[in-house]
Amino acid sequence: MGFGDAIKTCFSKFFVADGRASRPEYWWFFLSEFILWAIAVTIDMALSTGYILASIVGLIYFIPLITAAIRRLHDTGRSGWWYLIVFVPFVGFIILIVFLATQGNPGQNEYGPPPGTVAGGGGMVAPPPPPA
């Protein structure tokens, strides 16, 4: 999944925490938020607006980033409730990043088929099995 596809997918699943999200889907979307936020901070500093644009970018991305992270956790076989580990002081954030960066389960798990298959809603067809 590419940069643009990740942004479209995550914004189209704004409130959808069901299913799974691949590593590229989550991290490209996260990168898009970071880039826009950095640009907004730069503009806010240049105009002395008190981080209004940066706050707007943060609010726009707030829910889609959480739901994408939950779907990413589902891809690794973990419940979305693991997202709350971020509130554990000092180590929670690091543990969450490790979970989000971990490779997903290659086959179906309790949260659905792998991202990118037709049944997974990724819009791509799974490759055919090798000939016997």
Sign of the CA dihedral with 6 first, then 9, 14, and 15 last? negative
Q: Which of 98, 21, 93 is nearest to 64 (CA)?
A: 21
Asked whether the beta carbons of 68 and 13 are under 8 A apart, the reply is yes
pLDDT class for 121, splitting at 50, 70, 90?
A: very low
CB neighbour list of residue 57: distance below 8 Å, 6 or more residues apart: 33, 36, 37, 40
In the predicted model, is pLDDT for residue 109 greater than 70?
yes
Give percent of the chain with pLDDT exceeding 90.
61
- What pTM does this model have? 0.81
Higher pLDDT, 2 or 1: 2
Query: Helices (H) and strands (E) in the chain — how many of each?
Result: 4, 0
Q: What is the pLDDT of residues 34-85, one digit of tens each?
A: 999 999 999 999 999 889 999 999 999 999 999 999 999 999 999 999 999 9
CB 124 within 8 A of CB 118: yes
Say how many C-beta atoms besides its own lie within 10 A of residue 50's C-beta: 10
